[in-house]
Structure 1
Amino acid sequence: MSQLSRRLLLATGAALAAPALRAQPAWPSGPIRIVAPFPPGGSTDALARLLQPHLNRILGTNVVVENRTGASGAIGTAAVARSAADGNSWVLVFDTHAVNPALIANIGFDTEKDLTPLLLFGTAPMVLTAHRTRPFKTFGEMAAAARAKPDTVTYGTIGNGSLAHLTMALVGKATGLQLVHVPYRGGGPLGVAAVAGEVDLPIATRPAIGAHIDSGALVPLAQTGATRSPSMPDIPTLAESGVPGIDARAFWGFLGPAGIPAPIKQRMEAALREALAIPELRQRVLALGIDLDPQGEAAFAPFLSRQIATWGQVVRENGIRPD
């Protein structure tokens, strides 16, 4: 082959390769948005902001956290579901994500069709507690008091239709206890009410009420996971307290729009895992009360489907309506 022919061949190959290169632009291609679909101060916002500076460094781009609140996280999640599948928009969800489809008509997205469940960070059981001024210090003592005077013992949650509300509905069915639900509008108001003794039995995750347990204002009666959480090894489960068959755990997960290219998904997941492996960050996430156990899309997608099916059934069977 002559030198001229070789030059023509190389030029032709470069021309053919150029469109393919343009079809796969470098990523990140601009600022990355992480939507926290709840107000500042909650666990999703806290986790997103803990990750933010590390993702800035690892990905070499500006990562911003946007609080887009409303409808128990559904508004911010719907915004991400409608975003371009370019890897620049993500949402960090909480367990309400699994309950919302059964509670909110025309929610605006379908998790299985419209979202990419990239990474499950971890889970955490809720803790059923009693205010220190109440006479019951164990689940059994509380149950005896509730049976003696039905519809007088109150329990407080972060809202109507919350995972805590659904869990206590299951507890009521399993035990026959007639308890009175007092819904609050989020973890902040519940925490204030809990420490003030407004309700007999505050129930929430450790991030919401853990400080009040540590201070002695709240007495832990039971945790709602199938097994004891490593962060709360001394608190018995509902099963150990005589209420078997309940495994109710909050969870935190990272999702993007459907259709994100595999290389982008792989790089974002790797960046999240690298950040979570930093000892200082890991300890701060654990301090939120999250039992870290990162699971990728292959495990997270079916986990979400099971959660949506399980809690949707509880909503329907108990006729629960949103606030």
Structure 2
Amino acid sequence: MAKLTRRGALACGAAALLCGPALAQQGGRTMRLVVPFPPGGSTDALARMLQARLQDMLGQTTIVENMPGAASALGAAHVAKSAPDGMTLLVTFDSHTVIPAMVPNPPLDIERDLVPVSLVGTAPYVVATNRDKPYRTFADVLAAAKARPRAVTYASVGIGTIGHLAMTLLAKRAGVEITHVPYRGGGPAMNDLLGGHVELLCGSIALVAPQLGGQVRTVMQMGAQRLPMLKDTPTAIESGFDGFEALAWWGVFAPAATPADTLARLSAAVREALSERQIATKLQESQQMTLLLTDSAAAIPFFARQTKLWGDVVRENNIKA
């Protein structure tokens, strides 16, 4: 009798779990993972890791489709309108919960038309500066902003992104004015921070981490606890902003009408795929991601809180795309 390897055992176990009619091979049909952003970003990288593992586990052809547009609403709406049969999933990022507030006449209701499969993980946003600038703590930033209203500048990866909204909320709570300089993506924003053209950058730790130890240092992180790699950088809570968190997150969603048994199988598949040691390690190292890999029910309240928190910031500050 052939010896069953650990990998083979996992695959067999996953296949047994996922062999319900909605997820069995469906006459040559292809499972599609829709990414509502261009290729190359962290969400695209996550989707491609998931695609390879799901295809291996299920024996089901699985592809990644990049469908950018309308601040990620285009891809999200496409998935929401797809057949609820477990064959089309959305793999997305934190900007998803800002769609209702930022996109005029959004093509979907994100809470009504989609259901979470899993909250994959989170990572904190950070405030970083060029080492040639005088800021070592966020208190230094606030002091400069009070002395020179609107003169202190910060970059984000775009209007209405969590980096932009987090700094808007912090400035409002501190009673200062800091000038936002939006960019089309993390690369250009980081380049201008390195070049000294902006004084600060508010972005995910995944964007900032490759530059640490060089020309960039962090002045504040926005998770509830300090990251091990940023053990000397205070959190926003430690810096006097009680209860403040700004998190990058990655999640997987399905059409809202997906049957409960199919949703449970999808959630189990995604969680098993991303728990694989090599993939988990890569996500933790490349994105500084805290893996959560929740089931559907556990993800719902998190996304609801994020939608309300950042939607309120958009509306109260009249932020327009």
TM-score (norm 2): 0.89
Tell me, in whole angstroms, the C-alpha distance in 2 between the residues paired with 1:116 and 1:27.
21
In the TM superposition, what are the counterparts of 1:141-180 in structure 2 within 5 Å? Answer: 141-180=140-179
**Of 248, 251, 258, which residue of structure 2 is paired with 1:250?**
248
Letter in 1 for 2:56: R
Letter in 2 for 1:85: P
Shift in Å at residue 185 of structure 1? 1.1
Tell me, in whole angstroms, the C-alpha distance in 2 between the residues paired with 1:73 and 1:133.
36
Instruction: Find the counterpart in structure 2 of residue 110 from structure 1.
Output: 109
Shift in Å at residue 24 of structure 1? 5.0
Instruction: Find the counterpart in structure 1 of residue 80 from structure 2.
Output: 81
How high is the sequence identity, in percent, across the aligned residues?
Answer: 42
Tell me, in whole angstroms, the C-alpha distance in 1 between the residues paired with 2:53 and 2:260.
22
The CA RMSD over aligned residues, in Å, is: 1.7
Contact 2:267 2:296 (8 Å CA) reproduced? no
Shift in Å at residue 33 of structure 1? 0.4
The DSSP-based 3-state class of the residue aligned with 1:128 is strand
Contact 1:36 1:66 (8 Å CA) reproduced? yes
**Of 24, 29, 32, which residue of structure 2 is paired with 1:27?**
24
Shift in Å at residue 299 of structure 1? 1.3
Go from structure 1 to structure 2 and tell me whether the alpha carbon gap of 1:231 and 1:286 turns closer, same or farther (over 3 Å shift).
Answer: farther
Tell me, in whole angstroms, the C-alpha distance in 2 between the residues paired with 1:263 and 1:99.
29
Letter in 2 for 1:134: K
Letter in 2 for 1:216: G
Contact 2:22 2:85 (8 Å CA) reproduced? no
Extract unaligned runs of 5+ from structure 2.
1-19
Contact 2:22 2:86 (8 Å CA) reproduced? no
Go from structure 1 to structure 2 and tell me whether the alpha carbon gap of 1:258 and 1:231 turns closer, same or farther (over 3 Å shift).
Answer: farther
Contact 2:126 2:221 (8 Å CA) reproduced? yes
Contact 2:142 2:176 (8 Å CA) reproduced? yes
Go from structure 1 to structure 2 and tell me whether the alpha carbon gap of 1:265 and 1:218 turns closer, same or farther (over 3 Å shift).
Answer: same
Go from structure 1 to structure 2 and tell me whether the alpha carbon gap of 1:129 and 1:318 turns closer, same or farther (over 3 Å shift).
Answer: same
Shift in Å at residue 25 of structure 1? 6.0
Tell me, in whole angstroms, the C-alpha distance in 1 between the residues paired with 2:230 and 2:33.
30
TM-score (norm 1): 0.88
Shift in Å at residue 218 of structure 1? 1.2
Cα deviation code 1:43-75 (max 9, x no counterpart): 110111122211111111111011100122111
Is residue 270 from structure 1 mapped to residue 252 from structure 2 by the alignment? no
Is residue 48 from structure 1 mapped to residue 42 from structure 2 by the alignment? no
Instruction: Find the counterpart in structure 1 of residue 281 from structure 2.
Output: 283
Tell me, in whole angstroms, the C-alpha distance in 2 between the residues paired with 1:32 and 1:151.
49
Cα deviation code 1:2-29 (max 9, x no counterpart): xxxxxxxxxxxxxxxxxxxxx9566242
In the TM superposition, what are the counterparts of 1:180-195 in structure 2 within 5 Å? Answer: 180-195=179-194
Tell me, in whole angstroms, the C-alpha distance in 1 between the residues paired with 2:282 and 2:245.
25
In the TM superposition, what are the counterparts of 1:120-139 in structure 2 within 5 Å? Answer: 120-139=119-138
Instruction: Find the counterpart in structure 1 of residue 259 from structure 2.
Output: 261
Shift in Å at residue 314 of structure 1? 1.0
Larger Rg: 1
The DSSP-based 3-state class of the residue aligned with 2:263 is helix
Tell me, in whole angstroms, the C-alpha distance in 2 between the residues paired with 1:197 and 1:188.
14
Instruction: Find the counterpart in structure 1 of residue 17 from structure 2.
Output: none
Instruction: Find the counterpart in structure 1 of residue 93 from structure 2.
Output: 94
Instruction: Find the counterpart in structure 2 of residue 12 from structure 1.
Output: none
Instruction: Find the counterpart in structure 2 of residue 11 from structure 1.
Output: none
Instruction: Find the counterpart in structure 1 of residue 217 from structure 2.
Output: 219
Tell me, in whole angstroms, the C-alpha distance in 1 between the residues paired with 2:112 and 2:229.
35
Shift in Å at residue 313 of structure 1? 1.0
**Of 235, 238, 242, which residue of structure 2 is paired with 1:237?**
235
Shift in Å at residue 99 of structure 1? 0.9
Cα deviation code 1:119-173 (max 9, x no counterpart): 0001111010111110122222222222221111101001111111111111111
Tell me, in whole angstroms, the C-alpha distance in 1 between the residues paired with 2:126 and 2:247.
10
Contact 1:39 1:67 (8 Å CA) reproduced? yes
